[in-house]
A and B are shown apart, each in its own frame.
Chain A
Amino acid sequence: MSVPLFFQFQPRDVDPALFVDRSRQLRWLEGLVTHYLYNRTVDKGLVVAVLGAKGVGKSILSRKALGALRDKFGRYVAFVTIDCRRKLSQRKVLREIADSLHQELARMKTSGASEVTPELVDTAAVVKTIASYTHVKLSTLHENLAVFKNASNLKVGGKLLDFLRAEFNIAVSRDKQERQALEGEVLLDDTTLRESLIQLLRDVRIQDPKLDVIIYLDNIDELDHDACNDASKREQIRLETIGLLDLCRAPVGFVLNMRSYYASSLLRDVDNTYTLESLPPEHMAQMLQVRLAGEREEIREVLASDQWSATLEELSRMAPTPLVFLRWLKYLAEWDEVGRGPIATRLEGYNNHHVANVSPEQLRVVARIFDPPARTVQRAELLVACDGREAMLSQLIHAQVVLPRDFWEPNEFTLDPELHYMLIPSEGTP
């Protein structure tokens, strides 16, 4: 029985409303942040890292927890969410943080949070303005900062302005004549921007005992995923990531999401980490029901039929992560017109949709050496499976058919979980 086409079902959707199960992990994350917000010291922040495989549910978990926390503390805590995918450099992430933080503080002020003063919003605007420059004439910068001179009236703190004045001779309160008389240029590099942000966050914290900021950085590992294939790019992206994580010195809350294989050498100083495992099979079905809520009734009816129930059960047992489960299901619902037979056979064309660059024969040969699915394989062994052909190995890596076990030392590889179906024995296979 074929499934009518989905209306809006998207496996990659990370809307927190789609959250299921994992109440224990949710409590853990919410508890940590709540504890931090109730028991703060002026100079100490919080860093929490949620790790796990791609598609295991890190984003939904974090977004769900932060959503609930925002409902509870949103009046005087600024929540900033940044997706780091393809940002390529810390600067773009820092710039986005500056932008979002300014918006969030402005929103809080508008909604009546007396702890957020106009002076504080202007202080945030100063960093936002600085973030948009790399090289800039001092006179130009001052002209643009002049509209935020109210920042200099900040009652408490003023660490940001002190820092800018001391390091770069930047002062927002200069009058027009002074501004026009300024000469020279200033380089506002990544370090400057990061330090400015940290000073701004300190200023925020000092304003009021309750006022705080929680910054959520999602997908840090995807700053530039392709960098793992090139040693020099890898080193560059490591420096970018370390630079970005240096922001955690600021006395505010950070929630970080990244894949386990990326985190190996980055989070040594982070005490609060949690590695998320996949959902148990019974919760996969529950997750599906939640995601199908917006679909037509007839779709749910078909998926509830005996034939599809068996398929779903098998998929939930075989799929290594919830994302893979949903993707396999979407494929079968959209393309599997027969709807019968072993799952492995029914998923046979799946790889054509995103790894057509690698020939199906080659893919089968390569997949076989990863049996059992969790096995890691040395690069040399992989090359042998590729018949010694570097170009073919390169195709596999770039198509992400194989993924490095450790992003920073890509000598061992695992098979992309989406291709694990190739290792499911078909009927009659010994």
Chain B
Amino acid sequence: MWLLPPDFPTNTFDLQPGSRALPWYADDAHAAALMWLLVRGEARISEWFPLPWTALTELDRDAPVREGAALVLLVPPDVAPEEIETQARSLPWPYVFWRSRRPALEGEEAWLERDIKRELLSQLRRSLLDRAHPLARFHVDRLPLPLVASMVADPVDLLEICQGTMLLALQSVADERERDDFEFYVRWSVGWRLGEYLLRIPEAQRQRAEALIYRGDREREDRASFRLGAQALQAVGLGLFVGEDLALGPLARSAQDETIWAAALHRLDLREVSVARVNLPHGARRTSKASAAPPRVTRSAPARSAPASLAGRARSLLIVPPIEGSERLDLTMMRDELSAWGFDCTVCAGDDATRDGVLGALRRLVDATEFHDVVVIYYSGLFGRARLSTANEPAEPMWDYIVPADHEPGRGFRGIAEFELDAFIDDLLPRTKNVTVIFDAESPSSTVSVDPESSAGKRYTTLIEGRRPSGHSMTGSDRVVRLAAAASSSAAYPVRRDEQATGIFTEELCAGLSRARRTPMSWDTLIREVRERIVMRRLSVAQRPELNGPRWRLPFSVREIVPTAERVTVVIATDGSPWLWAGRLHGIDAGDEVDILDDKVSITTTGRVIELFDDWAKLELDPSSSDSFPRPGSVGVLRSPSRHMTVFIAPEALKIVGLVSKLEQSGRLSVVERRADVDFEIILDEDELHVRGPSWMRRFPRPSMTLGVSELVEDLDAVARSELLLESLRDPPGLGPSSEWDVQVFGAAPSSRPRVLGSDELLDEGTVLHAEVSNPRLASRPIYVNMLRRDPSGRLALFNSSEPAGVEVFAREKRWIGRQRYRGLGLTLRWPSDVPQTEVGRETLTFVASDRPLDLRSLLEGPDMNNRSSQRTAQLVPRDLPSEPAASDELRSTVRRTMLASNPSDPWVTTLRWEVVSFSFEVTPST
């Protein structure tokens, strides 16, 4: 759906209320896409509900039907068409769609082409020719819609093929190859789609069906064979079989085109080989008409079902030890989903998942992995936490471990420690960058003590001594995508389905991955969705899935979707109103405008902040796009946040190419024309760019070339974000009387033990820091602590990267931030490379404790400046003019009044309670 224009008119279709059949050949995703298309383009339909046929008797036919609601009746294949029609006629719903898995009435799907396709084409045409189309620079206007139109009747097929075409075109750009062969891309996408339909035909009939398509429909020597093939084609919607005659549909007829047939065969081949072949469409398994002319796409990504840029083999290891002897449904679900992505799945489960079995499987995985392979390690089971217990060192660090089948408390430690897992991943990384680890594990309830004199204790003592922590598996690193069912110490909920156990996380993650096969989305987007769904299902935020590592990557790919602006999550309140899961602390202000991306790629609607709280902001949607109500978990992109810092560019520096435009790409910097009261000033001296700002701000001059300009702007953008955040944190409301917390900062000079640091101490560069946060009261609620480090450059960074919404600290619990649980003493103070080492610098650690998770990354990290499209005005904004229209002032005063009220207007939003503690130190650079 991402190719649909955001302003897709709600009156595109003129579909009168009534009863219609959805195409029998449509699978669930297809039918859903069709219904959503109607929601987007038919003003009288705003929502739809599936209803099984057997539930018809339960339906209250006399109850009023909500305006805009459509019913999709799921009809079993054995129900007679007359019965379907009679029921459909009698239902009081204005729109009734019925869906049977086999054709019931001749021509039942004809309305799709007659009433929907033509208008869809017209709107697509309008959208693609729009110069403001986000893909305009990739020549989206050249997409040959008439060619697509001639080869499909179904509007969903039409959209899918158009989208597949554009993905191929974009891939070509990425590959730096010719990018204007759109007709070829269309043919390849059509063939791909055709192949997907053919795949649905049972193996026994598929060859007959393929023969009918490939040779045309004239081969009828063997009537029985013909009939079987024709029926199979009709079953998947590729033809119409009447009497003894078969009329092929447009998609099937297009198989006469060599490229299309080659693509279809290629798609059929992929079912039986690994996903890596998706991207290497050379060498179709069968003899085809196109064999002499292999397709030119070398790394195609029709992308409906595959990672976009893999060149190697996709391998996965699923480690699922038994829990209380229960069957594990999550293994089946994850294996099916990974298989759908094209992974070869190796399973280490049940009684085979012993310590030796798991370690052996991991070793084999590492040994088999080759350059550019895609690797996934999935673990579902129990976590444990252990420490070497000695009388002399009670504070010996703890480590996490996974619990294999042969680990039993009290019978010798057989767990697999996090650093053992890290070691395998360390071995993997030189072979491939594309590693994903997924943990759906219940958290430990207690800590196991391992006797250092036992064999396990000795083994771990050796391992701990010999290895630097990498954190890939349990805490997260920036090189490996790590998905965890819950933040450390929080619960991961299991559920039972058909007498089998599974984790909610696995269930929701598989659903998200399934969607990601159809709609490209980053890990970040996917995990937001998963998190939202878990919150909605459990009505709790206790289970908080985490994502670390390169979160903007596409799933199982090294390609990234780079954020083009600050992104925040959209949630829906109990009263149905849309909210941003971000507020004043995230640099949002009243009147700020937000583009809402429903399908993660295109803007479906826009909104404006009308009510503001610390970590929530209420939105008012653009009334002209009222049909496009965002879904929970949608991404909101801040268009031009009104809170920003000002930059004055000295006249001589204005000539530096790209400086102004680069600054304008920052959402948090505003170029002004007057020098007075600016936050930053950029001057040019001897061909070098200097920056002046607050008294603490010192920088080496930067070359006035492209790289220097980029570095300068990125630096200022980061400083501006830091300042805005610190400004927001100035007036904490307090955690409340029932909460109490304490924080201590530890520092250790090289080769010495950590000691508690007092504020304003003088530290040397190289000092290792960590903090200990405690929640001492017994009856206290959990607190969430963010640790922000502001180095001598003035830039802020988040320390708690493994739990980016705050380290969760339960009652009577102490947690370390910064320090690894084994041997890692903390994070080393480094002097910023762009700050002159002439004086002492100030290092500040700010701890923000809140009574619910608080993820500050949207403001702190901001967009990737090199990829941000310019959305701000190209004109210089004078300092003395407000950057927002006057109406905003009124709005702001309204909001201020609202904020003064004791409670937010929606009881669903409770006020965030938070407190701040800061520690400042003087740092001397090492010479």
Contact = CB atoms under 8 A, between A and B. Distances in A.
A, B: real partners: yes
Interface of A: 5-6, 10, 12, 83, 85-89, 91-92, 95, 132-134, 136, 222, 226, 229-230, 232-233, 330, 334-335, 349, 352-357, 359-360, 389-392, 394-395, 397-400
18 contacts: A5-B125, A86-B16, A86-B17, A87-B17, A88-B19, A91-B90, A226-B107, A226-B110, A334-B126, A352-B150, A353-B118, A356-B150, A357-B153, A389-B247, A390-B242, A390-B245, A394-B107, A399-B114
Given A88-B18, A132-B62, A229-B107, A391 B246 contact: yes
Nearest to B158: A356
A356 B151 contact: yes
Contacts of A5: 125-126, 129
A353 B240 contact: no
Nearest to A396: B247
A10 B13 CA distance: 10
Contacts of B17: 86-87
B153 to A, nearest CB: 5
A133 B92 CA distance: 9
Contacts of B64: 132
A136 B18 CA distance: 24
A359 B246 CA distance: 13
B152 interface: yes
B240 A352 contact: no
B120 to A, nearest CB: 10
B394 interface: no
Interface in B323-344: none
B253 interface: yes
Given A88-B89, A330-B122, A394-B106, A356 B243 contact: no
Contact of A356 (B82, B92, B108, B149): B149
Contacts of A349: 146, 149-150
B88 interface: yes
A86 B97 CA distance: 12
B117 interface: yes
Contacts of B11: 10
Contacts of A360: 150
B243 A390 contact: yes
Nearest to B109: A398
Given A356-B250, A394-B107, A88 B88 contact: yes
B246 A353 contact: no
B113 interface: yes
A40 B153 CA distance: 53
A394 B234 CA distance: 14
B122 A334 contact: yes
A134 B114 contact: no
B491 interface: no
Contacts of A134: 61-62, 90
Nearest to A4: B129
A391 B243 contact: yes
Given A85-B18, A91-B89, A354-B117, 11 more contacts: A6-B126, A83-B16, A87-B18, A88-B85, A132-B62, A226-B110, A233-B85, A360-B150, A390-B242, A390-B243, A398-B107
Nearest to A219: B16
B528 to A, nearest CB: 36
Contacts of B247: 389, 391-392, 394-395
Enumerate the 4 nearest inter-chain pairs by beta-carbon distance, A residue then B residue, closest first. A86-B18, A398-B107, A85-B16, A391-B247
Nearest to A393: B242
A395 B19 contact: no
B14 interface: yes
Contacts of B18: 85-88
Contacts of B253: 359
Contacts of A356: 113, 117, 149-153, 250
B644 interface: no
A108 to B, nearest CB: 23
Contacts of A330: 122
Given A226-B110, A394-B107, A357 B249 contact: yes
B567 interface: no
A357 B113 contact: yes
B20 interface: yes
A355 B125 CA distance: 18
A400 B151 CA distance: 18
A92 to B, nearest CB: 8
A354 B146 contact: no
A399 B242 contact: no
Contacts of A395: 240, 247
Contacts of B239: 391
B149 A353 contact: yes
A399 B11 CA distance: 23
Contacts of B242: 390-391, 394
B117 A353 contact: yes
Contacts of B249: 357
Greatest chain A CB density within 10 A among B110, B118, B152, B247 is at B247
B228 interface: no
B17 to A, nearest CB: 6
Contacts of B88: 88
Contacts of A92: 89
A347 to B, nearest CB: 12
A429 to B, nearest CB: 23
A330 B125 CA distance: 12
A354 B150 contact: no
Given A390-B243, A399-B113, A86 B62 contact: no
Contacts of A397: 107
Contacts of B250: 356-357, 359
A398 B126 contact: no
Greatest chain B CB density within 10 A among A5, A95, A136, A397 is at A5
B20 A86 contact: yes
B107 A354 contact: no
B241 interface: yes
Contacts of A391: 239-243, 245-247
Nearest to A389: B245
A132 to B, nearest CB: 6
Nearest to B254: A356
Nearest to B152: A356
Contacts of B762: none
B280 interface: no
A133 B89 contact: no
Interface string B45-69: 0000000000000000110100000
B121 interface: yes
B62 A133 contact: yes
B117 A229 contact: no
Contacts of B151: 356
A136 B60 CA distance: 11
A51 B113 CA distance: 27
A87 B19 CA distance: 7
A169 B122 CA distance: 56
Interface in B231-281: 239-243, 245-247, 249-250, 253
Nearest to B14: A12
A308 B601 CA distance: 38
B468 to A, nearest CB: 61
A400 B243 contact: no
B260 to A, nearest CB: 15
A132 B92 contact: yes
A232 B85 CA distance: 12
A360 B256 CA distance: 14
Nearest to A12: B14
Greatest chain A CB density within 10 A among B110, B153, B249, B253 is at B110
Given A391-B247, A399-B114, A352 B107 contact: no
Nearest to A361: B253
A232 B114 CA distance: 24
A92 B91 CA distance: 9
Interface in B820-854: none
B898 to A, nearest CB: 36
Contacts of B62: 132-134, 136
Greatest chain B CB density within 10 A among A334, A335, A354, A392 is at A354
